[in-house]
Structure 1
């Protein structure tokens, strides 16, 4: 179905190819998982598959890419529209109509199909995806998981032979991600659709993959059986890290398989690991217990309404120095609305937000401050970090941050080098990878050195090493007495990073406590290691390494 024949892609001005001599085949009805470090070339591979590379992006493509026998050299993306459906990272950004039914029909209208055919396929797709009850719903009112399923349905109605998905679960809560992955798997198994998924959260998809395509940092691509490829892959989820350390062969790809291998570990005398949630080499707090630092910010009675809908319902939250707080909950729970209300820019229907230990040495109302003052007290990195970047070069962004914050020249640049070294000053922010853009925005916010830093879904687009760098940066802040709040669906990042977890549902706080106590008791938010080793109290691979005797 998909064939890459000695394909290399070199972009104009690049010193080396983004992809180097790629030869692979993906058969009909297979689910192929594309993995690799941030910036390794995953998007380039997907672009070559769909014909966007080099027809839209420029550069030089050597070799041949064939989709069901059609060569992308001779067929532009529009000529492949009946063969390939593409679902991007942000489904809402790709919608062109207002309701579910209209969106499902739109692609068929562009192909000139008859009304009778369109009606039949819409009904079939509604049933296949289990969204018949959403037929007349407005697209903007759907949850993230529902939007993702509608986006898949919009391409499925055109009866493509191949569906390409770019990070389909990155913005979804664990339950929503499971629903979407069940849909994707059904397409491959029941409808013989070839599915190609590029995903950073490998732990969510790996167990469903028939084949893995690994892109190395040098542009070299390997393909093969998932267990074999993951033995040497540069990126690996906790279940694979655990299997490598324990010497399990073949490597388990799912929690279920790993749990069978870890039976002896679960029978060990229970005990608290001493490593805490911090990775090796980092300062560690007592395992699973938040820091008892002084209160920096107190939010009381926070109520937020959007067009009459209650997004946050009477929430109290205290943020303390030296503490990383994870804010979790399903899509639409009110996490982002709470963060923006605390920062002072977003809507606030009722309640107060006060810095109890402010720069001025006295309690102040955050919302009474102007934008420049507020930035010095509470920093916020939004979901779309690039929204805060508006200048033409990385150097200009850093210089502007130094001036606005009244810091010495080079402060922001130094922070950026700590987070993501090697980014040239003359590089345009839009040419950076997702991880590099996040690092730049984080450096800009940290230049003001606020006591409280809020991050909304900061791990989107980051590979495991990128998350580790972010984790080190956040722990460096808390070591200096700052307070950090991370709103995220990434349970693995929470397990290794957070001291405290606050769970929201329908705008209310339903759980608030030490990370270990909250996540272990939740099937949805428990990390892989916890599921594998329960009833042991371990959350991370480092916890297991410390508590279990070294495998022989």
Structure 2
């Protein structure tokens, strides 16, 4: 179905090719998982399948890419639209209509699908992706996860033979991600659709993959069965890391298989108290932000309902909940620039009458009080190069006096980004890293991050954990709105769960997420009822035990 024959892709502003001498064949009805660190060329590989590379991205493509017998060099994307459906990293970039129903029908209109068939496919897709209740909603009113599902649905209605998905679950909560992946798997198994799927949250998708395409970062592409590739790959989900640590062979790729393999290990570790993932924060730490009665509505519909929240110095809080539960609305209300129908926010010591409300001070002062990185980081990028953005952040933050330069922060999150690169030419993960660096350069007392791990690989998420730990150590408080349960298990001291605009759970990370079948990380599911959250805990216990973990 898809063939790469000695394909090399080189961009003018890069010293080395992004892809080098790639030979690859993807058969009909395969679900191929494309993995690799941020910026290694995954999006370039996917873009070559429907002709976006090089027809729209520029650069030079050597070799030959064919899809269903069509050479992409001779067929631009519009001539491949009936064969290849593409969903990019940012769904907003692909929307061309105003409402959900219109967006689902648009691709079929361009392909001259008969009206009766269009109506039937729209209804099927609404049910398939759980969008029936949103059919008349405006696209800009949807949450990020809802927009992602609409983007996938708009492609599925055209019934393509090849489906290319770039980070399809990055904005989805765990339940919605499972629903989307189940729908994609049905397309593969029941209709023979060929799927190329790039995803950083490998723990969600690895069990569905027929084959893994690994980009090590030197332009090469390595392809093979998932268990074989992950045995030695530089990037792997927690279930694979756990299998490597425990010495299991073959490596399990599903929770069910891993639990079976872990039965002897659970027995041997029974009664052993694992080390804490994170040191317990000081119980007497002062309160930095106090929110009371926060209420947010949109056109009369409540998004946040009279929420009370206290954020303390040195604390990292994860804000979780399904898509549309009110997480982003709460963050914007706390930051001050978002709508707030009722309630108050003060940043400072409790009881201090001079503790300011970020909504009532200048933009510069508000940024030093509360910094917010939104779900769509490009909203904060407006200059012509990465260097200009970083220099502007340093100038506005007075970083020369007492802060960390934005370039230093960026290199820790996503190393190797050239100063001359235009921000809009970066991958989604790189854009997010750039905006994180810009906002953190101001060193605000309260840091709010809305889905910061979207588009970041495991290495970058580890660096992000180090950075937020450093902020907490300096006495700041950090709130991270996320669906990434693996990141929460390692990075958060406290978890707050929202539903329908209310806070329904609030407590220490281990207590909240282990008790939830939805939010529990893979290690907790595999080793339950033992109290483990991360692979590092198991590795530490096995090292101190000094015995063969596979025995």
Task: Summarize the alignment of residues 245-284 of structure 1 with structure 2, pairs less than 5 Å apart.
Answer: 245-267=245-267, 268-277=269-278
Change (3 A) 1:23 1:414: closer
Task: Summarize the alignment of residues 320-469 of structure 1 with structure 2, pairs less than 5 Å apart.
Answer: 320-357=312-349, 362-408=354-400, 411-469=405-463
For residues 451 and 496 of structure 1, the distance between their equivalents in structure 2, rounded to whole angstroms, comes to: 22
8 Å CA contact 2:39–2:430 kept in 1: the answer is no
Give, in angstroms, the shift of residue 439 of structure 1.
Answer: 2.9
Report the equivalent of 1:52.
52
SS in structure 2 of the partner of residue 262 of structure 1: helix
Report the equivalent of 2:189.
189
TM-score for both structures, normalised by structure 2? 0.93
1:316 aligns with 2:317: no
Give, in angstroms, the shift of residue 155 of structure 1.
Answer: 2.3
8 Å CA contact 2:485–2:519 kept in 1: the answer is yes
8 Å CA contact 1:91–1:151 kept in 2: the answer is yes
Report the equivalent of 2:198.
198
Out of 158-167 and 131-140, give the one that drifted further: 131-140
Change (3 A) 1:402 1:90: closer
8 Å CA contact 1:144–1:176 kept in 2: the answer is no
Gaps of 5+ in 2: none
Give, in angstroms, the shift of residue 83 of structure 1.
Answer: 0.7
Change (3 A) 1:148 1:485: closer
Report the equivalent of 2:464.
470
Change (3 A) 1:488 1:119: closer
Query: CA offsets, 1:248-274, max 9 Å, x none?
Result: 111111111111111123223334422
Change (3 A) 1:481 1:106: same
Report the equivalent of 1:62.
62
8 Å CA contact 2:89–2:428 kept in 1: the answer is no
8 Å CA contact 2:129–2:179 kept in 1: the answer is no
Change (3 A) 1:16 1:506: same
Query: CA offsets, 1:12-60, max 9 Å, x none?
Result: 2321111111111111111111111100100000011111111112222
Give, in angstroms, the shift of residue 126 of structure 1.
Answer: 4.9
8 Å CA contact 2:287–2:310 kept in 1: the answer is yes
Report the equivalent of 1:221.
221
Query: CA offsets, 1:361-417, max 9 Å, x none?
Result: 952333221111111111111112222122222232233223322332783334434
For residues 151 and 438 of structure 2, the distance between their equivalents in structure 1, rounded to whole angstroms, comes to: 34
Report the equivalent of 2:107.
107
8 Å CA contact 1:291–1:499 kept in 2: the answer is no
8 Å CA contact 1:40–1:217 kept in 2: the answer is yes
Give, in angstroms, the shift of residue 275 of structure 1.
Answer: 3.9
Report the equivalent of 2:499.
505
For residues 492 and 146 of structure 1, the distance between their equivalents in structure 2, rounded to whole angstroms, comes to: 22
8 Å CA contact 1:366–1:374 kept in 2: the answer is yes
Task: Summarize the alignment of residues 459-538 of structure 1 with structure 2, pairs less than 5 Å apart.
Answer: 459-538=453-532
For residues 204 and 46 of structure 2, the distance between their equivalents in structure 1, rounded to whole angstroms, comes to: 20
What is the root-mean-square deviation in Å for CA atoms of aligned residues? Answer: 2.3
Gaps of 5+ in 1: 278-284
For residues 150 and 202 of structure 1, the distance between their equivalents in structure 2, rounded to whole angstroms, comes to: 22
8 Å CA contact 1:303–1:310 kept in 2: the answer is yes
Query: CA offsets, 1:86-143, max 9 Å, x none?
Result: 1223334423334444333322221223334434444554565565666555545656
Change (3 A) 1:416 1:197: closer
Paired residues, what number?
A: 542
For residues 469 and 214 of structure 2, the distance between their equivalents in structure 1, rounded to whole angstroms, comes to: 31
1:72 aligns with 2:72: yes
Which of 297, 305, 315 in structure 2 is aligned with 1:305? Answer: 297
1:169 aligns with 2:172: no
For residues 241 and 282 of structure 2, the distance between their equivalents in structure 1, rounded to whole angstroms, comes to: 26
SS in structure 1 of the partner of residue 232 of structure 2: coil
8 Å CA contact 2:129–2:180 kept in 1: the answer is no
Out of 130-139 and 223-232, give the one that drifted further: 130-139
Report the equivalent of 1:207.
207
Give, in angstroms, the shift of residue 466 of structure 1.
Answer: 0.6
For residues 483 and 299 of structure 2, the distance between their equivalents in structure 1, rounded to whole angstroms, comes to: 26
Change (3 A) 1:98 1:213: same
For residues 226 and 324 of structure 1, the distance between their equivalents in structure 2, rounded to whole angstroms, comes to: 35
SS in structure 2 of the partner of residue 430 of structure 1: helix
Query: CA offsets, 1:449-470, max 9 Å, x none?
Result: 2111111100011000010111
Give, in angstroms, the shift of residue 216 of structure 1.
Answer: 1.3
8 Å CA contact 2:126–2:132 kept in 1: the answer is yes
Change (3 A) 1:368 1:103: closer
